[in-house]
Amino acid sequence: MLDFNVRGENIEVTEAIRNYVEKRISKLEKYFDSSVNAKAHVNLKVHPDKTAKVEVTIPLPYLVLRAEETSPDLYASVDLVTDKLERQIRKYKTKINRKSREKGYKGVEVPGADLDADDEDTDSSESKFDIVRTKRVSLKPMDSEEAVLQMDMLGHDFFIYQDAESDAVNIVYRRNDGRYGLIESDD
């Protein structure tokens, strides 16, 4: 069951907008177990050029769904972001199911990474080396293929994870040529 936290920047979130957002994003619940209780963080932003940006983040126990879309129409942006999230879920489920069949697992528990969105900006000066953002990550065991999938779904260029076989902390990253790299730690 999804709970919603709908915020607006440069726009008042009316009851009609809230209902539309909840109706569209609630359609994703068909992909979740009935036991899943998640909070959908929805940020609606209207820019001075009258374009509307919609950002949705849904942290789940086994992955973080995140998508954003910008278009001239707020309602169209909501539709586009919902479609994007649905594609992410399908891609993830397909990949996990294929991996489970290959390894012969039944009733596989899906591991993932969950970023705590502690996005509070700290006081920043003009120095190049000031840390302006801190995030905490909860490392969960997975293999490099799952880490790349998580990275792609989050839209990031790198992803930190705990290797399921070696228990080492590793990093996967997207290279400039579009392929992926892996940094393994020596413990």
**Looking at 103, 136, 154, which one is the last position of a domain?**
103
Residue 32 lies in a domain: yes
Residue with tokens 């996967």: 172
- Are 11 and 95 within one domain? yes
Given a contact cutoff of 8 angstroms between Cβ atoms, the answer to whether 78 and 43 are in contact is no
- Are 87 and 6 within one domain? yes
pTM over 0.75: no
- Are 98 and 130 within one domain? no
Q: Render pLDDT for 88-137 as a digit per residue (tens, 0 to 9).
A: 888 887 877 777 677 665 443 443 333 333 333 334 344 556 777 787 87
Given a contact cutoff of 8 angstroms between Cβ atoms, the answer to whether 9 and 44 are in contact is yes
- Are 80 and 10 within one domain? yes
Instruction: Please report, in tens digits, the pLDDT of each residue of the chain (187 residues total).
Output: 788 999 998 899 999 999 999 999 998 888 877 777 788 888 899 988 989 999 999 887 777 888 999 999 999 999 999 999 998 888 887 877 777 677 665 443 443 333 333 333 334 344 556 777 787 877 888 998 989 988 888 888 889 999 988 888 999 999 888 899 999 887 6
> Residue 136's pLDDT is what?
80
Domain count, the chain: 2
CA neighbor of 66 nearest in space, from 85, 52, 79:
85
- Are 13 and 41 within one domain? yes
> Residue 94's pLDDT is what?
81
Domain that holds residue 176: 114-184
- Are 88 and 157 within one domain? no
Phi, psi of 84 (to 5 degrees): -65, -45
Residue 45 lies in a domain: yes
- Are 64 and 129 within one domain? no
| 3-class SS letters over 15-38 | HHHHHHHHHHHHHHHHHCCCCCCE
> Residue 187's pLDDT is what?
62
**Looking at 45, 78, 103, which one is the last position of a domain?**
103
The C-alpha atoms of residue 173 and residue 131 are separated, in whole angstroms, by 21
Judging by beta carbons within 10 Å of its beta carbon (0-12, 13-18, 19+), is residue 50 exposed, middle or buried? exposed
Given a contact cutoff of 8 angstroms between Cβ atoms, the answer to whether 16 and 36 are in contact is no
Tokens of 161: 């994870």
Bridge partners for 61 per DSSP: none
**Looking at 103, 136, 159, which one is the last position of a domain?**
103
- 3-class secondary structure, 92: helix
